[in-house]
Amino acid sequence: MNHHHHEDTRVEDQSSLSEREKLGKLLEFWIKHNDDHVNTYREWSKKAGSENLGEVVHLLEEASELTLSINELFKQAMKELR
């Protein structure tokens, strides 16, 4: 099982950045992080499909789509920062 950490979100430690810059970096990180999760959900959805777990496949695909929807909100927030 893959482990991942959230240390990259520690932009608050970068005191030379403005709050706006920190938020921009966080949004970039969150988008990448969510994309990684989507890939994992889809990978496991395929595995569930090979086990004939149709409802699990459906739920993992729905989680993927919801995560991508969240990323769209983050991308909109990034545009607002510019």
- The reply to whether 2 falls in a domain is no
- The reply to whether 8 falls in a domain is no
Does residue 8 surpass a pLDDT of 70? Answer: no
Domain enclosing residue 45, as ranges = 17-81
Question: What single-letter DSSP state applies at residue 17?
Answer: S
Identify which of 31, 33, 8 has the alpha carbon closest to the alpha carbon of residue 78.
31
Using CA atoms, how far apart are residues 77 and 28, in angstroms rounded to an integer?
10
- The reply to whether 67 falls in a domain is yes
What predicted TM-score, i.e. pTM, was given to this entire model?
Answer: 0.82
Give the pLDDT band of residue 14 (cuts 50, 70, 90).
Answer: confident
Q: What is the pLDDT of residue 15?
A: 82
Does residue 82 surpass a pLDDT of 80? Answer: yes
- The reply to whether 12 falls in a domain is no
Using CA atoms, how far apart are residues 37 and 9, in angstroms rounded to an integer?
16
- The reply to whether 38 falls in a domain is yes
Task: Give the count of domains, the chain.
Answer: 1
pLDDT in tens, 37-81: 999 999 999 999 999 999 999 999 999 999 999 999 999 999 999
Q: What is the pLDDT of residue 23?
A: 97
- The reply to whether 10 falls in a domain is no
